[in-house]
Amino acid sequence: MSYQHLLERFLTYVKVNTRSNPNSKTTPTTQSQVEFALDVLKPEMEAIGLKDVHYLYDNGYLVGTLPATSKELTHKIGFIAHMDTADFNAEGVRPQVVQYTGGDIVLGESDCVLSPLDFPALNGYIGQTLITTDGTTLLGADDKAGIAEIMTAMAYLAKHPEIPHGEIRVGFGPDEEIGIGADKFDVADFDVDFAYTVDGGPLGELQYETFSAAGLELTFLGRNVHPGTAKDQMINALQLAVDFHNQLPEVERPELTDGYQGFFHLLSLEGTVEEAKSIYIIRDFEDNDFKKRKELVKTIAAEMNANFDTERIKVNLYDQYYNMKKIIEKDMTPVVIAEKVMKDLGIKPIIEPIRGGTDGSKISFMGIPTPNLFAGGENMHGRYEFVSLETMQKAVDVIIGIVKESSVQRRTT
């Protein structure tokens, strides 16, 4: 198997700042994502042999097709990755390539050190080629590793038409990191039987369970008077925010939970005595527990409001996405195929729930079952992010293996 241009692609992609912006009202939320799609990815997709490469201005997706090698192979599968990066400095990314022999890795000329004492997973990468940051930015392996892997796999398949496969659709989308990238996903345009997001972490990850997710925005309205005469008159909006937060279960925070445990996560708290605002995300796997969490925040707000003659706590609670297990477990074909391919390649599948979400969460509910494959990134969303080239190569192998295996299964059913 040739991995020609895999590293080169990845290094090119990560140097482009495509950070999304949660405060923007455009689609995509940053113009840099549009330019990355049209100026970098689209010409390359056409050059490697993808057909009907088109950019959808309504939703920010760049889509291309690798035609079927036989008219008899009528099944269609897809591979999806996102173009944006998370809310950490993404300007001036200077990746460094390290032949890792163990111990600490100094990140560029910064004071930052990537150490196995802090990140024990490093010990599993001795002898491998790692791509890290220079300590001043994130890397962007989430999810430009996925883009590079899909591109490399498609380039290989285009050069090897003797490998039988049905139609393969590729989609690169925006704004996944801020949870809105798949809101406008065009199922009819993508038109596949099932798909995979290539957006996971370490080698072997295969995920079809995600959190169900809600966003919570609370506005606290106070009444400001001079603190010297405040008794029985002042209503401190910031104190209301603190009082609300203290009524949430103390141990149900991200830093104290794992596995199937859900949480309330306070993202921001700002304001004055007169007005304050808190933003939370709410996460859980089970429908009933998810419902209870949402009911709890409404109950707390209602009980606090009952102490005043006017509404002081305003609640904006909204669902973001749901656990895609409910869709995928109806037909486990894409999971079964990926699991078999990994085992055939000597990769141990790690089938665990995602303590987060992927674009596949929403796309699955739109009608295309879309589990998630590993892309290789570790310590994502910050200066200590890194990825193994060898893991990226294995991700390419898995993508190609899925293409082959899906054709085999369709021919035998």
Q: Edge-to-edge strand order for the sheet containing 206-207?
A: 51-56, 61-66, 167-173, 76-82, 194-200, 372-374, 206-207
- Transcribe 97-163 into DSSP letters: EEE--SS-EE-TTSS-EE-TTT-GGGGGGTTSEEEE--SSS---HHHHHHHHHHHHHHHHHHH-TTS
Q: Is 84 a catalytic residue?
A: yes
Residues belonging to the binding site for Zn(2+) are: 82, 142, 177, 199, 381
Q: Tokens for 232, please give them.
A: 């029985």
What CA–CA distances, in Å, run from 384 to 99, 147, 367, 369? 16, 20, 36, 33
- Transcribe 64-95 into DSSP letters: EEE--S-TT---EEEEEEE--B-SS--TT---
User: 357 and 210 in contact (C-beta within 8 Å)?
Assistant: yes
Q: Which of 44, 84, 175, 209 is catalytic?
A: 84
Per the listing, tokens 């889509």 go with 63
Q: Which of 44, 176, 252, 378 is catalytic?
A: 176
Q: Is 352 a catalytic residue?
A: no
Count of CB atoms situated within 10 Å of the CB of 367: 12
Residues belonging to the binding site are: 82, 142, 177, 199, 381
Per the listing, tokens 């995600």 go with 210
Pairing of strands 76-82, 96-99: unpaired
Task: Please identify every residue annotated as catalytic.
Answer: 84, 176
